[in-house]
Chains A and B, each alone.
Chain A
Amino acid sequence: MTPVAEAIESGRLRGRVWLYSNYHCNLTCSYCLTESAPDVAKRRLGQERMVELAHEAADLGFSELGVTGGEPFIEPDMPETVARLAQILPVVVLTNGTLFTTRRLQRLAPLGELDVRFQISLDSSDPVANDVMRGPNNFGKVVDAIPRLVDLGIKVRIASTLEYVDDDDLAQLCALHRELGVPDEDHIVRPVIRRGRAIDNGMGVSAEAKDLPPELTLTSDGAFWSAFGPTVHGGRLDTDLLVTRTITPLRVPAMAMLRLLAVQPASPNGESAFI
């Protein structure tokens, strides 16, 4: 068993490796960790490097991949990238769910046969309230896309990022996700984290390394402690949760994570709030 696999088995390290495919996005959400928007620096990892990292991750003993951004599907080759990644390890892709045109859905069809899950953001059952946070027409595109993805056989989870939890609103949101074909166990509610654009909008809760489960997270700028690490504020990358600038060979940041785990306080139990 590899040192990484041992750390995962003992619960010290999470088995998932996150890949930030890119930083740009068609949306400009009010709480975005990475200040993503259409006109920001793209900072792509690229398909070949993502596949190379996935192979290294599997060899080191990691058990799952996560793809996030930015918006991954703004990358034209993302359907094929996800398919290649899923041949190596199970994949979860975080997407805003607004770019699934009929043509793109056709290219996603092969994913229904693979171990792939999509996690789509939806913050309210009220279109106006949702779109205030996530941008115009977001709600309509998402509720249109989810059943079509489910029909393709792709497993869909819904993530609701909430500044405050109102029981009535949450009940309506749960009714909606059930209508869309997403069961209760595939709906997660997570807090806004006070990093990135959420700082400027006075939103969210603070989080440091000790508050965040260790999940190796790879970007074009380096490797981070958590998917909440490679945030951007004022156009500058935050480095407080940077582990190494090196991402390949992957053993460099992976071994650095293990060294940090030897001295870091215990991380919270339970699932990462990112997913």
Chain B
Amino acid sequence: MSRIEMVEPPQVPLLARRFFDRGDPGPIVASLAHVPELLEVAMPFIGAVLGPSSLALRLKEIVILRTSSLLNCRYCINSHTVAALDCGLSRGEVLALRCEPDVGSTFPDHRESALLAWIDCVAGEAGAVPEEVSARLASQFSDAEIVEITLVAGTTMMLNRFCTSLMLPSTPETMKRLSEEGLA
């Protein structure tokens, strides 16, 4: 049961209507629609940061799912378990990102290993990231990539706290897929 009511189609404000044009837009949009002037800037921003971009989608989903797991956001873990599987991550990789077995042995690739060490500090710790972790990341990624990786993590953290605090419910479609994958 979410902490707030979702905005239903008969009451969708004018600026929010385009987000409902193709049917149920999901609970993030249906909650943000209470404040349409924020919805209309938040969704393009979220789409630009978390959607397809110059950074490989596999890397983005690693960042998003790992961050969501560290912040224990059930809504985002569920949604991005499905998204991660859809972009080609294996069931074992997904389980590792969800903090179930040890991540290190599941992601031997140097780039992904450095990325995960960075994310574990950004999302899992307070304060500055240790020099050694920063150096490992910088050896594998350009400055532009580091900016994007960190913004993906930060945006995910914002959504994690939003969805968890408001207790947004996972959609039936997501729960059905997780059941089919044995990951519910």
B37 and A245 contacting across the interface, CB-CB below 8 Å: yes
B7 and A244 contacting across the interface, CB-CB below 8 Å: no
Q: A245 to chain B: which residues have CB within 8 Å?
A: 34-37
Tell yes or no: A242 within 8 A of B by CB. yes
Nearest B residue (CB) for A255: B37
B10 and A240 contacting across the interface, CB-CB below 8 Å: yes
Given the interface pairs A252-B37, A256-B37, the reply to whether A243 lies near B15 with Cβ below 8 Å is yes
Q: How far is the CB of A208 from chain B (nearest CB, A)?
A: 10
Given the interface pairs A244-B36, A246-B37, A252-B37, the reply to whether A260 lies near B11 with Cβ below 8 Å is no
A244 and B11 contacting across the interface, CB-CB below 8 Å: no
Nearest B residue (CB) for A264: B14
Q: How far is the CB of A95 from chain B (nearest CB, A)?
A: 29
A244 and B15 contacting across the interface, CB-CB below 8 Å: yes
Given the interface pairs A244-B36, A245-B37, A252-B37, the reply to whether A239 lies near B7 with Cβ below 8 Å is yes
Size of interface on A: residues with Cβ below 8 Å to B: 17
Nearest A residue (CB) for B7: A239
Nearest B residue (CB) for A236: B11
Nearest A residue (CB) for B12: A240
Q: B34 to chain A: which residues have CB within 8 Å?
A: 239, 245
B14 and A243 contacting across the interface, CB-CB below 8 Å: yes
Size of interface on B: residues with Cβ below 8 Å to A: 11
A238 and B11 contacting across the interface, CB-CB below 8 Å: yes
| Residues of B1-55 whose CB lies within 8 A of A | 7, 10-15, 34-37
- Give the docked Cα–Cα distance between A156 and B11 (Å): 36
Given the interface pairs A239-B7, A240-B10, the reply to whether A259 lies near B15 with Cβ below 8 Å is yes
Nearest B residue (CB) for A244: B37
- Which of A209, A240, A245 counts the most B-chain CB atoms under 10 A from its CB? A240
Q: B36 to chain A: which residues have CB within 8 Å?
A: 242-245, 256
Q: B11 to chain A: which residues have CB within 8 Å?
A: 238-240
Tell yes or no: A23 within 8 A of B by CB. no
Q: B7 to chain A: which residues have CB within 8 Å?
A: 239
A260 and B14 contacting across the interface, CB-CB below 8 Å: yes
Tell yes or no: A83 within 8 A of B by CB. no
| Residues of B119-176 whose CB lies within 8 A of A | none
| Residues of A233-269 whose CB lies within 8 A of B | 238-246, 252-253, 256, 259-260, 264
Q: A241 to chain B: which residues have CB within 8 Å?
A: 13-14
Q: A259 to chain B: which residues have CB within 8 Å?
A: 15
- Give the docked Cα–Cα distance between A246 and B36 (Å): 10
B14 and A209 contacting across the interface, CB-CB below 8 Å: yes
Q: How far is the CB of A14 from chain B (nearest CB, A)?
A: 16
A–B pairs, 27, beta carbons within 8 Å: A225-B14, A238-B11, A239-B12, A239-B13, A240-B10, A240-B11, A240-B14, A241-B13, A241-B14, A242-B13, A242-B36, A243-B13, A243-B14, A243-B15, A243-B36, A244-B15, A244-B37, A245-B34, A245-B35, A245-B36, A246-B37, A253-B37, A256-B15, A256-B36, A256-B37, A259-B15, A260-B15
Identify 19 new A-B residue pairs, CB closer than 8 A, beyond the known A243-B13, A259-B15: A209-B14, A238-B11, A239-B11, A239-B34, A240-B10, A240-B11, A240-B12, A241-B13, A241-B14, A242-B13, A242-B36, A243-B14, A243-B15, A244-B37, A245-B34, A245-B35, A252-B37, A256-B36, A264-B14
